[in-house]
Structure 1
Amino acid sequence: MASSVAAALGASVAGVGQAAEPDDPNTPRAPLVRGELKRFSTTAFGAEVTGPFVFDDGSLLYSLQHPDRENPAPYDKAAIGYFSGFQFSFDGESDFDELSTPETNEERRAVRSAAGDYEMLAREGDAINGGSELLGVPQTPDGTNITSGQFSGSKYADAGYTPDCNQFVATNDEGTEGYLFTNWEASPGNVSRIPLSQDDDGSWEADLKNALNLANTEALRELGGTRINCYGDLSPWNTMLSAEENYAHPRVSLTATVSDIVEKGTGEGLRGAHEFWNRPNPTEIQSAVDDYYDDDSWFVQSYWAVAGVELLAYYLGAEPVDQSADGNDLTPIGDVYPNPYRYGYIVDFREPAAETPEPVKYYVMGRAAWECPDVQSDERTVYLASDGDSKGVYKFVADEPIPSYDDPMGLAGTLYAPLVTNDDEAEAAPPADVDLEFEWLKLGHATNNEVAAWIAEYDDVTQADYLGTHTDWSEGDEVTADLLEAADREVVENGNRDYVTDEEIVEWGKQYEWYGPDGVDDDLRHVPFLETRAAAKEIGATIEFNKAEGIDSVDGAEPGDDVYFGISELNDDMSNATGELQLQRVDGGVVYRAELESDYNVSTLEPVIVGPDASDPAAVADDALINVDNLAVMDDGRVLCCEDADQFGRSYKNDCLYVYTPEDDDRGHGNDPDGDDADNPGNGTGGPSRGSGGNDNDDNPGRSDGNGNGN
C-alpha cells in the first residue's frame, strides 16, 4: 500500500514511524486507573486488536488486523480468531492472571494470551461462498475481485487485510449457532457473514463455504455500497450495526469553520478533503496544493482518505477509463461515480439470517467518520463517535423505538452535537481530576426518507463535473495539468459547486441562530444531516475531540448504568491554543464513563482510565493503556479495552487487549503512589515521532502535526 495510507492504518504497521522526542510534557496523574487494569492479550507485531466479541459462554473472539507481512505464518495474514480453552467468568471469580509483556522476537510476532490459545476461524484470502469469492474482498458487478494489481489508482487498504468489528447473531436459544458479521475497513468497504457453530467440547467452527461478502450482494450495491467499515455494535433487536468511518468528509481543516472561509473570501489555507472528492486522482490534492501555493500551502485535512474512491466507482460499475500504461491518468470518470453523501453512516443489517440480509443506512443519524454506535435499551437513544482530529461525539434520539417502524426508512428523530460547558474548569486541572460537563445542541429533525431524498440529488455527479463545473472544459477536450490546476484553484477559492455549497451552510447557521433549529427554511434542512461536522462547527458545538474511538455500555443498560467513551488521544485541538477546551495534554488518551440519566441522556463524563504521556519511560508505558480504540462492556460490567497504539517509551511494539474492572470509590493515582507527579516527572527517552510517515490516521500521515494513531 502507499506509504501515506499505510501510515494511516495505524502505529502497528511495521516499518512506519521513526523515533523522536515527542512534544508531550509530563501531565500530573497520567497514567491513572480508577479500578483495575489487566493485560489479557498482546497481538502479533504490526496488528491492531479490533472487533472484540464475547459469546454467551464467555468465549472471546477478536480480529487480527493488518499484521506485519514478515511475521511467521499464520500471523502474517489478517484473521478472525477466538481463544480456545478459555471463557470469561461472570460470577465474580478471578478468571485469568495478567499476561506478561512480550520479551522475545518470537513472542512479539505471535498472538499471546493470559489463557487459552488463539485459534483462527478465517484468514485473509480464504475462499468463501462456494469458492466464488475471497473473504473480505469486494467485486465489480462483473465479478472481478478488487484486489492489488487489478486497477490503477490509490487504495485505502489491501482488500481482506483489515477485519474490524465482529458481532455474532445467534440463531438458536443456546447461542451455539448463528452468523458472525465482520467489518472490513477499506474502500470499497465490506461486511462479511460467516456461519459459526460451537461443538460440544466448546470449540467453534466456521463454515466458509456458505460465507458471504455482503458488499457483493445487489441489496448493498444498490445503496452505493459502503466504505471504511470500522467498529459497530449488536443492536437491541439482534442485528449487526456497521459504522462507516468515512474520514474523507471534512470540508474544512481542523478548527476552521465555513464562516471563516466566507469571511476571508477564499478557502486558501482552510479547505478539507471533501471538496476534492470528485477530482481526478483525488489523493494527489495535497501534493498539488503544496506545488500551487508553495510557502502558503496548508494541510488538506483527510486528503489521504479519498484513497479508494475511484476503486469504489469501479465497484459501482464505472468504466476504468483512467488506466494507462503509466498508471492512473487524468482522464475523468464520467459515467458512474460514488456520491460522497452516501457514505459515513450507521448500516443496520436487518433480517440477518435471510439468504441476503437487508441493509438499511440510517442517514438521519448524521454523516461522519463513525467509529461506533451505542444504542440504549430504550431503542431510541444512540451515542456515536466520529474518529479523527477535531471531531465530535453525537447523540441521536428517535421519535419512537427504532425497530417499531414498519419501514425503517420512516425512522424519524433528532440529531444532537455536544457542547462542553465547563471548559474553564477543565483547563485548570489535570484531565484525571476533572469531569467534562455536556449540553446537547439540537442540530435538526428529519426522517430517514427525507435525508435519502436530499442525498439522491447528488447521485449523478462525476469527475467530469469537477472539470466542467469549475473550468470551461467540455467532454472530449484534453485534460492537462494546467486545466486541473485551474479547477483545483477555483475549488479552493469558491468551494466545490457540485455539492452542498459554503453559502448554504453559512445561511443555515444564521437562520439557526435567529430562529432555532426548527425555524430554518425547508431548503436548508438538509445541512446538518449531510454536512454534520460543518454544521455543528457553525453553531459553536465542541468539535475538538481527537479520535473519539469507542462507545459502549452493558447490554440492556438502564438509567443508573454507565456508558464508556474512549478518546484515543487528548491532544491537538483539545489541548492547544486554537481550541476552546485547552485541556492539559495526554497523548495516551482517556477513557471516560457517563451515568445514564432517567431519560437515557448523559451529561457528565468522568475520567476512569488516563493513558501515559508520550514522554513516559518503559517502566510506566509498558503496563498502561495507550490510545484506546474499541471498547466492549461485558455482562458483568468489566470493559475490554483494545489498543491502536503509538508505542511511546514502551519496551515492545505490540498492541494489547486489557480488561478493566471499575471500582466506583477508587480515585486512583498517577505515576506516583502519592498521587502527585510533581516529584516524579516520569520523563523518558520518548516514543515514535508523530510525523515522518507516522501514524496519524485522520488527517496527516507523514507530517509532524501530532495527530492520530491509526484506524
Structure 2
Amino acid sequence: MVEFTRRTLMATSAAAAIGVGAIGTATAADADTPGAPTIRGGLQRLATTARGAEVTGPFVFENGEVLFSLQHPSRDNPGPYDTAAVGVLAGHQFEFNGKNDEFDALEAPRSADAQGRVQVAGGEYDILVQEGAPIAGGDAKWGHPETPDGTDIAAFDGSRYGDVGYNPDMNFFVPTDDEGLEGYLFTNNETSPGSITRTPISRDEDGWEADLENAMNLENLAAFREIGGTRINCYGDLSPWETPMSAEEDYSHPRVSGPATVSDVVDAESGVGVRGAAAFWNRPDPTEIARSIEELFDESWYPQGTWALAGLEMQAYYLGAEPVDQDGETNTTNPIGDGYPNRYRYGHIVEVTEPTSAEPTPVKHHAMGRAAFECPEFMPDERTVYLASDGANKGLYKFVAEEPIPSYDDRMDVRGTLFAARVTNEDAARNQPPADVDLEIEWLELGTASNAEVESWIADYDDLTQVDYLETHAETDWQADLETALAEADEEVAINGNQDYIADAAILEWATQYAEEGPNGVDEDLRRVPFLETRAAAKAIGASVEFRKAEGIDSLDDAEPGDFLYVGISELNDGMADDAGDVRMERVDGGVVYRAELESGYDVSTLESVVVGPDATDRESVVDAAPINVDNVMVLDDGRVLLCEDKGSFGRSYPNDALWVYEPPTSLHVDSVAISQETTGEADLTLSSIPNGLAGGRVTVSLEHTDVAEIVGASYHDALELTAGPTISDDGSTAEFRFADIDDEIEPGTTDVTLATVELEGVGGGTTDITADVRSLDDDEGAAIEAQPRPGVVVTGPPPVGGGVGGRAPSDPDGDGTFEDINGNGRLDYDDVVLLFEHLDDESVTLNVDAYDFNDNGRIDYDDIDELYDEL
C-alpha cells in the first residue's frame, strides 16, 4: 500500500511507486481530511489530455491497445486538439500481466506545448474521428442529429446542451471478425438531442483507421425517433452478449432539490425553495425558470438540474415539432405544441440491439428506472445490473431480471426488480475520513415490472406540451397575455407542483402503502411511481440517495464471486459530507474510488475505499501525484483498473486531466462455503495475482467458532512440490501451510492462483468466519508480497428433514442463508415444499428457525411454506 497523508509524506519511495517526481513534506491544517490522498496499491499515469478536455469513454481492444474520447477540449489549443475527438493510444499495448512495469510512467505536462495536446506514455494519440467530420458521403456530420426532414440540429437557435458533437463519451467496439481487428465503434455524445454514432474501424500494420464514408448517426434512424430519441448520452457498458448499452445522463430529472423529499414539500404545503428542475420540464423556454423564480418569490433558488433543461427545444425539433419563432440569438417563450418530448422517456439505459445490422434497433430498459445514469455494469449472469447516477444526492441502484436478459425474445418483455442502496453502518455517519470507513450496503426493493409495463405508463404522458404547462397552471389566457400566464404558471408549479405529471400526493401514497404492504402490495395505479420517479421514490422509503457524482462502475467481464466491482465517486461532498442522512463523512473534494467484493448471486454488501483523492488545500506536489475526480473506470482483463479524470487543475501545477492505471494489491481469498451438519465441504485459499511470480510462503487458515465447523483436512496445489504439513490443530481451528515453488511451475503474471484447500466439517448450526493470516509470502525477485486477506464465511445448515433423500441434508442453493433445498437434492423443487409441510413441527425444523424462516418474521409458521412455494 502506498499512502499519502497530510501529516507525513513518504518521499522518493512513494514518488517512485506512483510514477511522479519527488515529494516533500508538508504540515497540515486541522481541517484537512486524514488519509487524503491514499492509494492502496500501485498507480501510474498513462496519458494526459489536451487542456480543457476530460478523459472519457475508455476502451481496451483485445490486442491491448487503448482508446478514449477527447471530450470538450479548449478551443484555444493548437489543432487538431481544439476539436473533440476519439483516438487510440498508438505505441502502447497492455500485456495483461497484472503489473504496471510494462510502461514508464508519463511525466506531468509542464510546457505550453505539452499542455495543449494529448500525451501518451511511450506513444502518440492517433485520432480516428473528430466532431463534425463529414460521414455518409458528406450527407451528415459525425455526432450531429437531424430533424425528420434532414436539417442539422446545430442550425437552430436557442439554448443548447453544449456544442453539437463536442462531448463524445462512451466508446465500445463490437468486432465483426475473429481476431477483433475489424468491427464497429459505438460512441455516445452528451447533447440534447442525444447521439450514438456507429463508425466502422479496422486495424492493419499501420494502426487503426476509421471508415467515415460508412459511419452513421444512429439517432437519425426511424427506430430511434420512434422511441423519442435519446438524450445526454454519457458513458455506458458493453453487455456480456456484446450489445452497446448507452446511459442517458438526464440531470434534469430531480423533482425536489438536494436532500429534500416530497414529504418535506407536502408538509410545508409548498415547494418554494426545494422544487427541482423536473417540475418545469414543459415550461416554455425552461432554462429561464430560475430568473422567473427570482422575480416571483422573496426566496429565490436554483432548481436542481435546471441547466440540463437546455436543449429541450432542440429535442422537440428533432422529433418533428414545428419550430417556434427563431430570433437568431435566444429562445422565445412562445410555447411548442405537438411533438414536445415526454419527460419520462429520458434518463434510461438504452440497448443497441442487432448492432452490426444495416439498421440497429434501440431498446430502452424502462424497468431499470430513471436517473442521471452515467453508466451501468451488466454482470456475467446476464440478469444483474448495477447503475451509477451522476450529480449530487443521486443514489446507487441495482436491477435483477427474472431471466437472463438475452433469453427474452422481445426485450420489452424483460422483467425484473429495481433496488436502491441504503448505507446501514453507523460509522458512515460519524464524520470520519473516507479512507477509514467502509460503507455497508443493503438493497431496498423498489418494485417489479417489465419494460412493456413501464412503457405503457410512460405513454400516458406522450401528448403533453408546453401549451399544457400554461393551460393547466395559469388562469390567464396565454394567447391573450403570454407574459402574465407564464408568471402565473411558474408560481403555481413552484408551490404546488406540475399537475401534468405524477403528483406529489401519489408518491407519498405509494410510500405509505409500501410501508404497510411492501413493494408488491401497492395499488396497481401506483406501481409506476418507482420506475418513473425513481429518485423521489427511493428517498421516500429511506434509501441513501446521498451518493455524489457516482461516475464510474465496472468489474471484470468474466467476474465471479470474489472478484471486485469498482465505483468511482468523482467528488465526496454535498450529501456524503453534510450533517444529515446515513452518510456523513469528512469531505474529500478529490473524490474516492470504492470497490466491493462480489458475493454469491453477484450481490455486493460492502464498499471499501481503495483510492482517495487529495484535499483541495493540499500542496501542489501532492495533488500532482494523485488522481482527482475519477470519472469513468474500466477494469482490465488482468484486474488492473483505468481511472479517468474529469476535473482539470484542482491546485495542480498543470491544467490537464489524466488517465491513470491502478494496480490493486494482491489479495488472499478464503472461499465462503455452505455445508450441512455432519457433512464436509472444501474452501480454497487463492491469491488474486502474482505479477512477479511466487517463491513460497507460510500461511495459516483459522476458524473463529469450532462449535460451528472444524478443519478436518488440508491439501496443497499440485504445482507446489516442496511443502511442509499441512499442520491441523487438535481442536480443528487452524491449518498451517508452508510451501515453495522451487520449479517455477506457477508463472509470473498468473491470476487466481489456488495455493491450498481446507476440508471443513459442519459441527453445529450457525456461521463462522474463516480467515487467512500471512506469516510470509515472497515473489521470485525476493520481495515480499503484501497480500490483503479476504476472509470467507462458513455456513452450516440443519440436519436432514424427515430422513431426507438418502439421508442428504438440506442446502442453500442461492446462498441467501435460508435452506430452500430441504430434500438435499441440490435444487429447489415442489418436493421441498411438501417436505416442509409434512415436517413443519419436527425438531429438525423447529430447532433451526434461521434455516426455514422464509418470511423473515423470526419464527416457523405456515406462511413459510407459502413463501417457499412462491420462490418456485
Amino acid at match of 2:146: Q
Query: In 1, are the aligned partners of 2:83 and 2:130 still within 8 Å (CA)?
Result: yes
Query: In 1, are the aligned partners of 2:431 and 2:584 still within 8 Å (CA)?
Result: no
Task: Quote the residue 1:670 is aligned against.
Answer: none
SS in 2 for 1:328: coil
Query: In 2, are the aligned partners of 1:615 and 1:648 still within 8 Å (CA)?
Result: no
Asked if 1:343 corresponds to 2:350, the answer is no
Query: In 2, are the aligned partners of 1:27 and 1:613 still within 8 Å (CA)?
Result: yes
- The counterpart of 1:100, out of the listed 90, 107, 122, is 107
Task: Quote the residue 2:285 is aligned against.
Answer: 281
SS in 2 for 1:327: coil
SS in 2 for 1:275: helix
Asked if 1:324 corresponds to 2:324, the answer is no
Asked if 1:212 corresponds to 2:216, the answer is yes
Asked if 1:592 corresponds to 2:629, the answer is no
CA distance in 1: counterparts of 2:496 and 2:129, whole angstroms? 49
Aligned-pair distance for 1:471?
1.2
Which structure's relative contact order is higher, taking Cα pairs within 8 Å and 6+ residues apart? Answer: 1
Task: Quote the residue 2:22 is aligned against.
Answer: none
TM-score by length of 2: 0.72
Task: Quote the residue 1:159 is aligned against.
Answer: 164
- The counterpart of 1:376, out of the listed 375, 379, 384, is 379
Amino acid at match of 1:48: E
Task: Quote the residue 1:5 is aligned against.
Answer: none
SS in 2 for 1:268: coil
Aligned-pair distance for 1:304?
0.6
CA distance in 2: counterparts of 1:145 and 1:299, whole angstroms? 32
Task: Quote the residue 2:752 is aligned against.
Answer: none
SS in 2 for 1:607: strand
CA distance in 1: counterparts of 2:210 and 2:378, whole angstroms? 28
Q: Which portions of structure 1, spanning 4 or more consecutive aligned residues, are displaced by more than 6 angstroms?
A: none
Unaligned runs of 5+ in 2: 1-28, 669-872
1:121-200 to 2 correspondences below 5 Å: 121-147=128-154, 150-199=155-204
CA distance in 1: counterparts of 2:567 and 2:74, whole angstroms? 29
- The counterpart of 1:657, out of the listed 656, 659, 673, is 659
Task: Quote the residue 1:581 is aligned against.
Answer: 583
Task: Quote the residue 1:58 is aligned against.
Answer: 64
Indicate how the Cα distance of structure 1 residues 626 and 325 shifts in structure 2: closer, same or farther if over 3 A, else same.
Answer: closer
Query: In 2, are the aligned partners of 1:24 and 1:586 still within 8 Å (CA)?
Result: no
Task: Quote the residue 2:515 is aligned against.
Answer: 513
SS in 1 for 2:544: coil
Query: In 1, are the aligned partners of 2:231 and 2:250 still within 8 Å (CA)?
Result: yes
Indicate how the Cα distance of structure 1 residues 247 and 505 shifts in structure 2: closer, same or farther if over 3 A, else same.
Answer: same
Report Cα offsets for 1:85-120 as digits up to 9, x if no partner.
Answer: 221111346211111111111110000011211010
SS in 2 for 1:50: strand
Aligned-pair distance for 1:638?
0.5
CA distance in 2: counterparts of 1:301 and 1:286, whole angstroms? 10
Query: In 2, are the aligned partners of 1:616 and 1:648 still within 8 Å (CA)?
Result: no
SS in 2 for 1:580: coil
SS in 2 for 1:291: helix
Indicate how the Cα distance of structure 1 residues 326 and 399 shifts in structure 2: closer, same or farther if over 3 A, else same.
Answer: closer
CA distance in 1: counterparts of 2:569 and 2:363, whole angstroms? 28
CA distance in 2: counterparts of 1:325 and 1:243, whole angstroms? 32
Task: Quote the residue 1:617 is aligned against.
Answer: 619
Report Cα offsets for 1:339-381 as digits up to 9, x if no partner.
Answer: 0100000011010110010110000000000000001100000
Asked if 1:572 corresponds to 2:574, the answer is yes
Indicate how the Cα distance of structure 1 residues 480 and 325 shifts in structure 2: closer, same or farther if over 3 A, else same.
Answer: farther
Indicate how the Cα distance of structure 1 residues 85 and 214 shifts in structure 2: closer, same or farther if over 3 A, else same.
Answer: same
Aligned-pair distance for 1:581?
1.4
CA distance in 2: counterparts of 1:644 and 1:428, whole angstroms? 26
CA distance in 2: counterparts of 1:648 and 1:328, whole angstroms? 35
Task: Quote the residue 2:487 is aligned against.
Answer: 485
CA distance in 1: counterparts of 2:61 and 2:650, whole angstroms? 33
Amino acid at match of 1:543: V
Task: Quote the residue 2:259 is aligned against.
Answer: 255
Query: In 2, are the aligned partners of 1:338 and 1:459 still within 8 Å (CA)?
Result: yes
Asked if 1:355 corresponds to 2:395, the answer is no
Amino acid at match of 1:47: A
Report Cα offsets for 1:426-448 as digits up to 9, x if no partner.
Answer: 52531101110000000000010
Amino acid at match of 1:151: F
Amino acid at match of 2:378: V
Task: Quote the residue 2:801 is aligned against.
Answer: none
Query: In 2, are the aligned partners of 1:243 and 1:345 still within 8 Å (CA)?
Result: yes
Task: Quote the residue 2:309 is aligned against.
Answer: 306
SS in 2 for 1:323: coil
Q: Which has the greater radius of gyration?
A: 2
CA distance in 1: counterparts of 2:74 and 2:89, whole angstroms? 21
Amino acid at match of 1:580: D
CA distance in 2: counterparts of 1:445 and 1:85, whole angstroms? 48
Query: In 1, are the aligned partners of 2:98 and 2:639 still within 8 Å (CA)?
Result: no
Aligned-pair distance for 1:480?
2.9
Query: In 2, are the aligned partners of 1:512 and 1:520 still within 8 Å (CA)?
Result: yes
- The counterpart of 1:546, out of the listed 533, 539, 548, is 548
Amino acid at match of 2:50: A
Task: Quote the residue 1:503 is aligned against.
Answer: 505
Aligned-pair distance for 1:478?
3.2
CA distance in 1: counterparts of 2:410 and 2:282, whole angstroms? 32
CA distance in 1: counterparts of 2:421 and 2:40, whole angstroms? 25
Aligned-pair distance for 1:646?
4.8
Task: Quote the residue 1:631 is aligned against.
Answer: 633
Query: In 2, are the aligned partners of 1:226 and 1:343 still within 8 Å (CA)?
Result: yes
Report Cα offsets for 1:413-433 as digits up to 9, x if no partner.
Answer: 000001100144552531101
Report Cα offsets for 1:625-659 as digits up to 9, x if no partner.
Answer: 10000000010111000001153221111100000
Query: In 1, are the aligned partners of 2:202 and 2:210 still within 8 Å (CA)?
Result: yes
Amino acid at match of 1:88: F
Query: In 1, are the aligned partners of 2:635 and 2:641 still within 8 Å (CA)?
Result: yes
Query: In 1, are the aligned partners of 2:475 and 2:485 still within 8 Å (CA)?
Result: no
- The counterpart of 1:333, out of the listed 333, 336, 341, is 336
The CA RMSD measured in Å over matched residues stands at 1.4
CA distance in 1: counterparts of 2:350 and 2:38, whole angstroms? 36
SS in 2 for 1:39: strand
Amino acid at match of 2:141: L
CA distance in 1: counterparts of 2:637 and 2:385, whole angstroms? 19
Q: How high is the sequence identity, in percent, across the aligned residues? A: 61
CA distance in 2: counterparts of 1:301 and 1:339, whole angstroms? 19
- The counterpart of 2:650, out of the listed 638, 648, 651, is 648
Task: Quote the residue 2:469 is aligned against.
Answer: 466
SS in 1 for 2:498: coil
SS in 1 for 2:316: helix
Structure number with higher strand proportion: 2
Task: Quote the residue 1:73 is aligned against.
Answer: 79
Aligned-pair distance for 1:321?
1.7
Indicate how the Cα distance of structure 1 residues 98 and 426 shifts in structure 2: closer, same or farther if over 3 A, else same.
Answer: farther
Query: In 2, are the aligned partners of 1:437 and 1:604 still within 8 Å (CA)?
Result: yes
Indicate how the Cα distance of structure 1 residues 313 and 423 shifts in structure 2: closer, same or farther if over 3 A, else same.
Answer: farther
CA distance in 2: counterparts of 1:247 and 1:650, whole angstroms? 28
CA distance in 2: counterparts of 1:107 and 1:509, whole angstroms? 55
Query: In 1, are the aligned partners of 2:98 and 2:663 still within 8 Å (CA)?
Result: no
Query: In 2, are the aligned partners of 1:381 and 1:398 still within 8 Å (CA)?
Result: yes
Report Cα offsets for 1:600-649 as digits up to 9, x if no partner.
Answer: 10000010000001111111100111000000001011100000115322
SS in 2 for 1:455: helix
SS in 2 for 1:164: strand
Task: Quote the residue 1:25 is aligned against.
Answer: 31
Indicate how the Cα distance of structure 1 residues 196 and 646 shifts in structure 2: closer, same or farther if over 3 A, else same.
Answer: closer
Task: Quote the residue 2:226 is aligned against.
Answer: 222
Asked if 1:387 corresponds to 2:390, the answer is yes
1:663-678 to 2 correspondences below 5 Å: 663-664=665-666
- The counterpart of 1:431, out of the listed 422, 429, 434, is 434
